[in-house]
Structure 1
Amino acid sequence: MSYTNELRIALLAVQRASLLTKSVFHSKAKGTVDKNDKSPVTIGDFGAQALIIAALQKHFPDDEIVAEEEAAALREQPELGDTIWDIVRQTALSDDHAEKELGGAIASKESMLALLDKGNSAGGSKGRIWTIDPIDGTKGFLRGGQYAVCLGLMVDGDVKVGVLGCPNLPVDDQAPLTADIGSNQTSDGHGVLFSAVQGQGATSRPLTDGPLAQEKSISMRAVPSLAEATFCESVEAGHSAHGDQAQIAQKLGITKPSVRMDSQAKYGSIARGAGDIYLRLPVKATYQEKIWDHAAGDLIVREAGGEVTDIHGKRLDFSVGRTLANNKGVVAAPKASHGEVLSAVQEVLKAKL
């Protein structure tokens, strides 16, 4: 299948949701609630997820959805639900260019809450399942740094379509990653949509408030020596083992400081050659990565000429539910260099493997 329609709807939905998140940030309407894991959930999370699910329900009503958020917190806090519904309606009504394909405003707050709860699929290895992270990198979002609106389509457990909206990454695919990319990145010249379809390569295009912009093919950078590579990692030490990653960089001869940013913006950055290596090493033996944190980025990097595995060298397995239960950690690098990077990872982590 070409997945042409799925890609177009996914791009429009992610662009619309990304515009909502930008509006929320600039209006400073960043009310939060706490989930059980104590991570912040913003108005943008709920609003972006509602817009994306509304688009998917209109075009692919029989598909299942695995999404991060659920509406229970909003039913307990009706005023917060009112605020989110108002922003969702405003965004949908102001998006003239996508309205014909995605539809206008959601009919009511109850309709919005019902849409949010449609993301409760258990996932698995059969059928068509979309996975959504409405704001990946919530802390990055709150500080004006990197975050991503993420959407992937899995068919029988295999990721076929991936889209990332990265409102605070530079539009220029050649722009180098800088140390300050983790915060204060909301000026003009920022905002990118990355996308990929299995077997069709990866692309980027500017994020707009109108029609979809013209796409450009992207590919990972040829790295003559890993000592020259740019290495990306998570900002939060609780998300990835910074000490182990520093040792790995040293073994590879990398002398440049790592670039720390939140979210799947790291996948997009290495896919277009702004960075080269992304490591997310487990900090707890029992932790399982969520599929919505990796599905779109995994496909985009692989379609851009990269290799993505876990620390054991296994491909990420999206077919076993809502988590990557069969994998530990993530190692993403150019295909030609991945083996060398993986060997360094395994050498440093040998006591933990």
Structure 2
Amino acid sequence: MSLPENYARERRVATLAVQRATIYTQKVFHSLVKGTVSKDDRSPVTIGDFGAQALVIAAIRHNFPDDEVAAEEESSLLRSNPELRDQVWKLVSQVCLPDAEEDSLLGGPLKDENAMLDAIDAGKSTGGNRGRIWALDPIDGTLGFLRGGQYAISLGLIQDGEVVVGVLGCPNLPVDKTARVINSESDREGQNDDGLGAIYSAVAGHGASIRPLARRRGPEEEPIQMREPLSLSVASFCEGVEAAHSSHSQQKAIAERLGIVAPPVRLDSAAKYAVIARGLADIYLRLPRNLSYEENFWDHAAGYLIVKEAGGEVTDAMGRRVDFGKGRTLAANKGIVAAPAGIHGKVLEAVRAVWGS
């Protein structure tokens, strides 16, 4: 896949940075979350978010020191809590890529705790429609992460308000598109974990691709294309697990209006974008229950581009283009409708009829 030089490097750095952060979150899950009885303690999530953010931002600063980063976390909690800070640093300091040359491209290991804290705090960009801004969600899908289901590390480069590079690290999505999508740790029974873990990436105008998370050195990318269902009756859609995040009842009414009979694929995080881009489902609906709610732009930048480059269309629920130049939220938009380009218009008509009313 031939890329213009300026974005070829951005995609490579972003892909490796997301891979390294994904390896880190897996360490957090297996050492602090897996096998716990109670999920009330949010410290594993905190440790996962902080460390992943530090690793990704450090790689961006090393390669593109003039770029801005907008990310979800800041380090004040770690600075005031030495015990928590030490937990994060202990795991961060152990993470590296399998290939030493690729790890070196990211600047190698963070040198100390202060470097970790400074990297976390470099994610304070307010966004906007001028310049180069990386939008990062270090762990999108908190509950999916805790239950051993779907979560994602989401990283997108926005230049002058347009998403030009997108990378999603999905450690619990299968590489094989015929495999079952897990939703929890119990779903893993009878499934080979070796087939789990994928990184999706896209560059504007140059398509989307998938590669195994566990890849060693060498090209193993495969182009991806959204499937066009033969009819809407055989299409499937995906939505969030939590009804508090989007309106399941309205989404059910939309499916019925379209004649869709298959039950929805429910999973957490921006992995939903990857699922439809890969052809594991066809339609992604996110209809807010509260019209005052504004989506964080880091939750959608990478997935938006991956779906677009895989042959899909993404708008808000009223058919407006998704505007990533309004700051740290999608302030000009309400909801998300993503589908193959050939059926997006029909899906949007049903959304307007049900949700618009």
User: Which TM bucket (shorter chain)?
Assistant: over 0.9
Other-structure match for 1:183: 184
Once the two structures are TM-superposed, the CA of residue 133 in structure 1 deviates from its matched residue by 0.5
Distance verdict in 2 for CA 1:137–1:330, change over 3 Å: same
State the TM-score, normalizing by the size of structure 2.
0.92
Q: Distance in 2 between matches of 1:298 and 1:29?
A: 30
Question: Which residue number in structure 1 is paired with residue 351 of structure 2?
Answer: 345
Q: In 1, distance between residues paired with 2:107 and 2:65?
A: 14
Return closer, same or farther for 1:209/1:28 CA change in 2, 3 Å cut-off.
Answer: farther
Cα offset for 1:83?
0.8
For residue 244 of structure 1, give the secondary structure of its aligned residue in structure 2. Answer: helix
Unaligned runs of 5+ in 1: none
Matched positions, count: 344
Partners of 1:162 and 1:154 in 2: CA distance:
9
Tell me what 1:242 maps to: 248
Return the match for 1:199 from 205, 208, 213.
205
Does structure 2 retain, via aligned residues, the 8 Å contact 1:196–1:203? yes
Match of 1:13 among 17, 20, 23: 17
Displacement of 1:84 in angstroms is: 0.5
**Contact 1:153–1:161 (CA<8 Å) still a contact in 2?**
yes
Output the CA distance in 2 between the equivalents of 1:255 and 1:94.
44
Contact 1:32 1:42 in 2 (8 A): no
Q: Partners in 1 of 2:203 and 2:70 — Cα distance?
A: 19
The answer to whether structure 1 residue 268 and structure 2 residue 274 are counterparts is: yes
Q: Tell me the alpha carbon deviations over residues 275-334 of structure 1, each in whole angstroms, 9 at most, x when there is no partner.
A: 100000011111000000000000000000000000110111000100000000000000
Q: Secondary structure at the match of 1:46?
A: helix
| Structure-2 change in CA distance of 1:220 and 1:208 (3 Å) | same
Counterpart in the other structure of 1:43: 47
CA deviation after TM superposition for structure 1 residue 98, in Å: 2.5
- Please give the residue correspondences for 1:94-133 in structure 2 after superposition, counting only pairs within 5 Å: 96-133=100-137
Per-residue deviation at 1:188?
A: 2.5
Q: Can you list the C-alpha shifts for 1:228-258, whole angstroms capped at 9, x where unaligned? A: 1111000111111000000001101111111
Please report how far the alpha carbon of residue 73 of structure 1 lies from its aligned counterpart in structure 2 after TM superposition: 1.4
Matches within 5 A, 1:272-283: 272-283=278-289
Residues in 2 aligned to 1:203 and 1:25: alpha-carbon distance in whole angstroms: 26
Rounded to whole Å, the distance in 1 between the matches of 2:99 and 2:56 is: 13
Q: Distance in 2 between matches of 1:287 and 1:76?
A: 31
CA distances 1:22-71 after superposition (whole Å, capped 9, x unpaired):
11111125898779xxxx84311111110000100000000000001111
Following the alignment from structure 1 to structure 2, what is the Cα–Cα distance between the partners of residues 320 and 192? 30
CA–CA distance in 2 between the matches of 1:104 and 1:176? 36
User: 2:86 aligned with 1:82, yes or no?
Assistant: yes
The structure-2 alpha-carbon separation of the partners of 1:270 and 1:56, relative to structure 1 and needing over 3 Å to count, comes to same
Match of 1:172 among 173, 176, 193: 176
- Secondary structure of 1:205's aligned partner: strand
Instruction: Using structure 1 for the length normalisation, give the TM-score.
Output: 0.93
SS of match in other structure, 2:320: coil
Query: What is the correspondence of 1:221-260 to structure 2 with a 5 Å cutoff?
Result: 221-260=227-266
1:22 counterpart (20, 26, 36): 26
Mean Cα deviation higher: 222-231 or 87-96: 87-96
Structure 1 residue 16: Cα displacement: 0.6
Aligned identity (percent) is 57
Structure 1 outlier segments of 4+, above 6 Å = 30-35
Closer/same/farther in 2, CA of residues 24 and 209 from structure 1, 3 Å limit = farther
Is contact 2:198–2:211 with CA below 8 Å preserved after alignment? yes
Q: How far apart are 1:222 and its partner, in Å?
A: 1.5
Matched, 1:162 2:172: no
Matching residue within 116, 138, 143 for 1:139: 143
Cα deviation for residue 211 of structure 1 reads 2.9
Q: Is contact 1:95–1:209 with CA below 8 Å preserved after alignment?
A: no
- Deviation larger for 211-220 or 42-51: 211-220
The gaps in structure 2 that reach 5 residues or longer are none
Alpha-carbon separation, structure 1, partners of 2:33 and 2:280: 32
Shift in alpha-carbon separation, 1:33–1:322, aligned structure 2, 3 A: farther
SS in 2 for 1:92: coil
Alpha-carbon distance between aligned partners in 2 of 1:212 and 1:325, rounded to the nearest angstrom: 41
The SS at the match of 2:269 is coil
Partner secondary structure for residue 268 of structure 1: helix
Aligned partner of 2:226 in structure 1 is: 220
- Shifted more, 87-96 versus 136-145: the winner is 87-96
